[in-house]
Structure 1
Amino acid sequence: MIRSFLVLSLLGIHSSCKKSDKGKEEDGGTVVVPPPVDNGGNDDNGKVIECKSCKVISSAAELSALTLTAGDSVMMKKGDWNNQRLVFKGTGTAQKPIVLIAEKLGGVILKGASSIQIDGKYLEVNGLNFKNGDLSVSKLNIVDFTSSSANCSLTNTSIVDYNPADATVDYRWISVNGTNNRVDHCYVKGKKHQGATVVIWGSNANSGILSHRIDHNFFGERIDLGNNGGETIRVGTSDYYLKESNVTVEDNVFYKCSGETEIISNKMSKNIIRNNLIFESRGTLCLRHGNGTEVYGNYIIGNNVSTTGGIRIVGENHLVYNNYIQGVATTGQTCAISILDGVPNSEPSGYFQVKNVKIVGNSIVNCSQGFDIGAGKGGNNRTVPPADCTIANNLVQKKSTTTTLLTFTDAPSNFTYAGNLASAGLSLPVGLTGFTLADLKLATNSFNIYEPQTGSPVLNAFQGTFPFFTSADVGANKLDDQHKALLKAQGIGPDWVQGLGDVLIIKAQ
């Protein structure tokens, strides 16, 4: 997979420095000076790129006229690009990708009905700034990886307020087809119209294996759409729910992404959703279709905003572990962790029974409801309760007002509960074992994240053996350097946009 630091090396820029996946320049290189974040990617201070070997273009027509081969680099002249439909074609290699880069990072401003199609192998698009556009006439997607694309990437790019006047018009801001493509270190904000912000499309090719990676992006505000179809990221569709797509969604920030009930909507099998921050966002991280997806290392911070949700589970063989959920205010299907009822003999677009899901080592802090088992019973013909699941070594701390520890909306079959700890004063459902009530002795650290203190019953209390997660303590792991960076949005978003983490203020209760 192409890394954005590879572009600098290929162009002969900052040859003494490299950019890590955290988005930081190391080893003494020149740092790109970014503009303020609230201008949606102002180009005043972006780094000017020097490249004597680049093919320089000033329009989409000039790009289309080029015949590009492995190792070529194309530079887009800085300034406004109005109504430019870019088609970026070519076949690079892992060692010699073909690069399309802004002359000034953030300084190529695409407006009007501008869009880009990425159509080839080992292509990289770097440093573009889509701002205040409208594709309602063309009905194209803003960024479109074609079905024949492979090993391509969109990096270091901003898309802000690209909205039609009519909010019912449906187009995607980033549409990902093909295989092994990557969207990284981008800033995406302000989608107000119908359709998911980022869509990864399912496919029957290669047995459905897609292997895309969505990482280190900052997804800014998305207002409540008022109906279905407002996801920030959707992985697949119900038509391909049994396909093992091997998509990874990691190290992203979702800030006030409130388009609908699903923020990240997983609709295929065998994906990884890890180490993301979901902050003050309406809705849930939702395992909507498919089986065998791993969800771990995520931080969900609701800050007691009334519509914030947690993790919502449908399907089989998922692993949900080592997640930290704080201040989620909703109950029922969108509570901290909800395990839904299924539909008998469900169609692909329906709700399959939850089976053999393991929910281990999660921290649920100051939320209105910890768990809802059989959530949504009766709605959409859901009458099949969950079965054969494990809930172990989870921590539930009550909020100062009422917290419901666990609700049986429907009675599950063959559930295992072990090693869970919850605050003294909470009420256990009659007959429920595997939960111990105690003074958890938690306190906030400098990030306002709760951690066990000396003498806490959480410490060294982990029970059982789970091959996917090893820990000494009950609940999620203690905040580490990787997640400290995540909570401040360090190394996330484009190089030329600063201050993204300033809005991420966690409130202790």
Structure 2
Amino acid sequence: MKRIFLLALAIALISCNDQKLTSINVSNIDELQTAINDSKAGDVITMKNGIWKDAQIKFHGMGTEQKPIVLKAETPGKVIIEGQSFLKLSGEYLVAKDLYFKNGYTPDEAVIIFRNSPDSIAFNCRVTGTVIEEFTQPDRHRKDHWIEFYGKHNELDHSYIAGKSNEGPTLKVYLNGNEHVNNYHKIHDNHFGPRPRKGGPKAETMQLGASTTSMTPSYTQVTNNLFEKCNGEVEIISSKSNFNNFSNNVFLESEGSVVTRHGNYATISGNIFIGNDNPYVGGIRVINTGHVVTNNYFYKMRGTEFRSGLAVMNGIPKSPLNRYNQVTDVVIAHNSWIDCEQPIHFSVGVNTDQAEVLPPSEIRSARPKRVIFANNLVYNDRFTSYPIKAYDKIDGVKFKNNLLLSNKNMDSDREDFTLKSISNTLGDELFYTPAQYDGKLYDGYGFNDIDVDLFGTSRNQDQNYIGAIIPPVSDKKATVDYSIYGATWFTPSTGNKDIKTHTVTNASEFMAAIKDANSEDIISLKEGTYLIDETIALAKELKITSANKDARATIQFDNLKTAFLMQPKGILHLESLNVLGTADQDLFRTEDKDMSKAYGIHLNNINVENF
């Protein structure tokens, strides 16, 4: 008994000693880097609460699956990383968690990078519970990324990422080299919050690969994320590699699409696209070969062509890697489009009418072929347009057992859908599904693999339920719970609930109102001329208007290079005003003179002179 007691005491003392050695508290960057350099498997490095300015963290170590090396905040969200900062991870089994990046930007290529150098790469490393909010370059033309994936089996989860306004995808996966392919990275349960319009390309929220590596297998898993108002450009997600999986994500009023830009064999399944009648919101755009598009649900989509609910492209014969390959061998099945205006577009991008002026390498004449479009549902009692628009012959598409429910008369000679009047629908305001289909579902090769619906309910082969949802829809699933995405300790701003109007009569009051106003407030200018001698930097949403639409106020900018400097979250509505400048001035900081759509600038009844 005495020996057993002594042995137990020794084990307890060793355990206490190990616990003491593996918990390391640091209060500045030098202590942090020393702790990292000395770290071993099982260590927990805790950053003290407070502001860490210009923290350029190089996290390298060799943990194990059972004993990772953890770098964490003392209190989630209370370690605030500001200034010119970044986090680089390399080695194996590292975890960084609960950090908050804001009020700064990266001086490097990215904010979070899964490598320290080309020869020091991350494997089985994880970033979780982290927030990057408006950690954006002051110059929107300076390119960077916020998260870069290298190596294999790395993970980003339960994080909030929002506010990138400069050039470059928010998140990018690299596949240059054998150490980065077949990577099986996991990107899940994140909230990708609003990204303002940049104007033009190179502003995706997510890019997986590049044209040069587009034939490379990636197997990146993008699942259970929320993409809210990701408006950077026409592509929210650009898949430029093979065998990627985009499943069970929610796209809320995001002005772009999930695009299989260059890669093949993507799975796009169980996603919810909510447009709420925004004409710029897109859905899924299909290019290349071998994709499976199933169980997706589209609600109130009104986008067209490249931004339509479903856009299947024409390709270029013998296309180079960086152009549009022909769509072949694609399955589009058990999807639902609800209250969408003509949401399905085939042969998008066809330009054979320009064959005389374009080189052959630019002619998109290769129509989709060996495409199966089956068991899909359209429910529509709002619009009279037929749900499909074809820009070329679509003889390469096989239409099988699709159902259109509508009480509207539609002028079309197409027979791609069985048309029935709306009756006996189940669900609430958002989710609709018909009762059992009285026809026979198409059951082609591989269709038995579509064994669950949008919500994971098992599909019984004896049940003829068409579209994405098998009824009934349970109360728990009848709405989308946006709160389950992102960092549990962080609540994103929900906007201005008390919009105020600031009435001003002179230039000093006008400048003070711009400084004091909350986002979405209105600044109302009394009649007169407002002489402004400093650039207006705007990092919030404001409406500036004349108090009397029949007696416009005049804003005159004197001897300034730039009138309005648009910063992150900057959205400007100018209405019923005269805006005067002098020679060689820019009204906005950009080379593009037409800002109304590209950069969050909205002009209504504006007279602009000398810009």
TM-score, normalisation: structure 2: 0.69
1:144 aligns with 2:113: yes
CA distance in 2, matches of 1:267, 1:386: 19
For residues 422-478 of structure 1, the C-alpha deviation after alignment (integer angstroms, 9 at most, x for no partner) is: 134454753x444200124365734622232xxx46477533241331343110024
Q: Which of the numbers 397, 401, 406 marks the counterpart of 1:415?
A: 397
Decide whether the 8 Å contact of 2:305 with 2:348 is kept in 1: yes
Q: Could you say what secondary structure the match of 1:55 adopts?
A: strand
Decide whether the 8 Å contact of 1:405 with 1:426 is kept in 2: no
CA distance in 2, matches of 1:113, 1:499: 23
Q: Which of the numbers 383, 397, 414 marks the counterpart of 1:401?
A: 383
Q: Which of the numbers 201, 225, 240 marks the counterpart of 2:174?
A: 201
Counterpart of 2:431, as a letter, is: I
CA distance in 1, matches of 2:488, 2:432: 31
For residues 391-441 of structure 1, the C-alpha deviation after alignment (integer angstroms, 9 at most, x for no partner) is: 0000112251343311221113432111100134454753x4442001243
CA distance in 2, matches of 1:58, 1:329: 52
Q: Could you say what secondary structure the match of 1:205 adopts?
A: coil
Note the 1:89-168 alignment, pairs <5 A. Answer: 89-135=60-106, 138-146=107-115, 148-168=121-141
Note the 1:63-82 alignment, pairs <5 A. Answer: 63-65=32-34, 66-82=37-53
Q: Which of the numbers 237, 241, 244 marks the counterpart of 1:264?
A: 237
Structure 1 stretch 216-225 or stretch 395-404: which is displaced more? Answer: 395-404
Decide whether the 8 Å contact of 1:211 with 1:245 is kept in 2: yes
CA distance in 1, matches of 2:180, 2:211: 15
CA distance in 2, matches of 1:449, 1:317: 29
For residues 35-55 of structure 1, the C-alpha deviation after alignment (integer angstroms, 9 at most, x for no partner) is: xxxxxxxxxxxxxxx988411
Change (3 A) 1:207 1:93: closer
Counterpart of 1:492, as a letter, is: Y
Decide whether the 8 Å contact of 1:224 with 1:259 is kept in 2: yes
Change (3 A) 1:402 1:193: farther
Note the C-alpha offset of 1:315: 0.6
Change (3 A) 1:171 1:483: farther
How many positions carry a matched residue from both structures?
448
Q: Could you say what secondary structure the match of 2:273 adopts?
A: strand
Q: Which of the numbers 464, 482, 497 marks the counterpart of 2:490?
A: 497
1:220 aligns with 2:193: yes
1:473 aligns with 2:465: yes
Q: Could you say what secondary structure the match of 2:102 adopts?
A: strand
Which protein, 1 or 2, shows the higher relative CO under an 8 Å CA cutoff with sep ≥ 6?
A: 1
Decide whether the 8 Å contact of 2:86 with 2:108 is kept in 1: no
CA distance in 1, matches of 2:221, 2:212: 20
Structure 1 stretch 487-496 or stretch 173-182: which is displaced more? Answer: 487-496
CA distance in 2, matches of 1:187, 1:383: 41
CA distance in 1, matches of 2:30, 2:180: 37
Decide whether the 8 Å contact of 1:442 with 1:450 is kept in 2: no
Counterpart of 1:360, as a letter, is: A
Q: Could you say what secondary structure the match of 2:322 adopts?
A: coil
Note the C-alpha offset of 1:328: 1.1
Note the C-alpha offset of 1:363: 0.0
What is the aligned-residue identity percentage?
Answer: 31
Q: Could you say what secondary structure the match of 2:482 adopts?
A: coil
Decide whether the 8 Å contact of 1:421 with 1:437 is kept in 2: yes
Change (3 A) 1:270 1:75: same
CA distance in 2, matches of 1:497, 1:112: 21
Decide whether the 8 Å contact of 1:368 with 1:399 is kept in 2: no
CA distance in 2, matches of 1:500, 1:327: 25
Note the C-alpha offset of 1:64: 2.3
Decide whether the 8 Å contact of 1:264 with 1:286 is kept in 2: yes
Decide whether the 8 Å contact of 2:147 with 2:170 is kept in 1: yes
Counterpart of 1:469, as a letter, is: I
What root-mean-square deviation, in Å, do the aligned CA atoms of Structure 1 and Structure 2 show?
Answer: 2.5
CA distance in 2, matches of 1:415, 1:446: 33
CA distance in 1, matches of 2:475, 2:213: 33
Note the C-alpha offset of 1:237: 1.0
Partner of 1:389: 371
Structure 1 stretch 488-497 or stretch 350-359: which is displaced more? Answer: 488-497
Decide whether the 8 Å contact of 1:490 with 1:501 is kept in 2: no
Decide whether the 8 Å contact of 1:251 with 1:486 is kept in 2: no
Structure 1 stretch 481-490 or stretch 433-442: which is displaced more? Answer: 481-490
Decide whether the 8 Å contact of 2:257 with 2:284 is kept in 1: yes
Counterpart of 1:171, as a letter, is: D
Counterpart of 2:450, as a letter, is: F
Note the C-alpha offset of 1:82: 0.4
CA distance in 2, matches of 1:207, 1:200: 9
Decide whether the 8 Å contact of 1:115 with 1:140 is kept in 2: no
1:277 aligns with 2:256: no
Partner of 1:437: 419
Structure showing greater radius of gyration is 2
CA distance in 1, matches of 2:139, 2:415: 53
Q: Which of the numbers 268, 285, 290 marks the counterpart of 2:263?
A: 290
Q: Which of the numbers 306, 310, 313 marks the counterpart of 1:333?
A: 306
For residues 343-393 of structure 1, the C-alpha deviation after alignment (integer angstroms, 9 at most, x for no partner) is: 121111110000010000000111122311111111842111111110000
- Stretches of structure 2 that go unaligned for 5 or more consecutive residues are 1-18, 355-361, 452-458, 497-611
Change (3 A) 1:82 1:500: closer
Partner of 1:299: 272
Q: Could you say what secondary structure the match of 2:484 adopts?
A: coil
